[in-house]
């Protein structure tokens, strides 16, 4: 196995999400990220991370957390978007997502909720975090 790819200046280094329930986030985010090709990276009392190349994603139930809920419609993070592979890959991910704590957003417009030329799944976890999984073809 080779090490992480050399990062390009300006590329995303990592994203850290503070979550109200680490075990729940580990189940949902761990499944999603490993499905997308990330590998477990770090683990500590209050957090976990997964890495793909030079980029990693952290979920942490920080002792400094001041509120128990995330609201994607308030100022701040709305969603994270990931490359999802082929349309078949995205469809398979959507099919399995509900068993891992994710719900399909905008089901009446899926898979074109982002427009007629954009094939993607919009998912929300039990804590209100949204991800967009974009098909490459």
Q: What is the mean pLDDT of residues 8-36?
A: 96
List CB contacts of 30: < 8 A, sequence separation 6 or more.
Answer: 40, 48, 50
Q: What is the mean pLDDT of residues 10-21?
A: 95
* CA–CA separation, 70 and 35 (whole Å): 24
In whole angstroms, how far apart are CA 106 and each of 25, 124, 132?
22, 10, 12
Considering the entire predicted model, what is its pTM?
A: 0.91
Give 49-89 pLDDT, tens digit per residue: 999 999 999 999 999 989 878 899 989 889 999 999 999 99
* CA–CA separation, 98 and 44 (whole Å): 27
Domains of the chain: 14-62+79-134 (3.10.180.10)
User: Quick one: CA dihedral 40, 42, 47, 52, positive or negative?
Assistant: negative
């Amino acid at each position: 196995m080779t090490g992480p790819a050399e990062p390009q200046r300006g590329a995303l280094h990592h994203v850290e999400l503070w979550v109200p329930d680490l075990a729940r986030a580990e189940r949902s985010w761990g499944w999603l990220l490993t499905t997308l090709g990330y590998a477990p990276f770090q683990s500590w009392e209050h957090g976990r991370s997964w890495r793909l190349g030079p980029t990693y994603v952290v979920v942490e139930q920080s002792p400094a957390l001041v509120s128990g809920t995330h609201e994607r419609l308030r100022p701040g993070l709305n969603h994270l978007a990931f490359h999802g592979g082929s349309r078949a890959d995205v469809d398979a991910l959507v099919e399995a997502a509900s068993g891992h704590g994710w719900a399909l957003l905008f089901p009446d417009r899926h898979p074109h909720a982002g427009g007629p030329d954009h094939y993607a799944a919009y998912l929300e976890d039990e804590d209100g975090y949204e991800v967009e999984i974009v098909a490459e073809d």
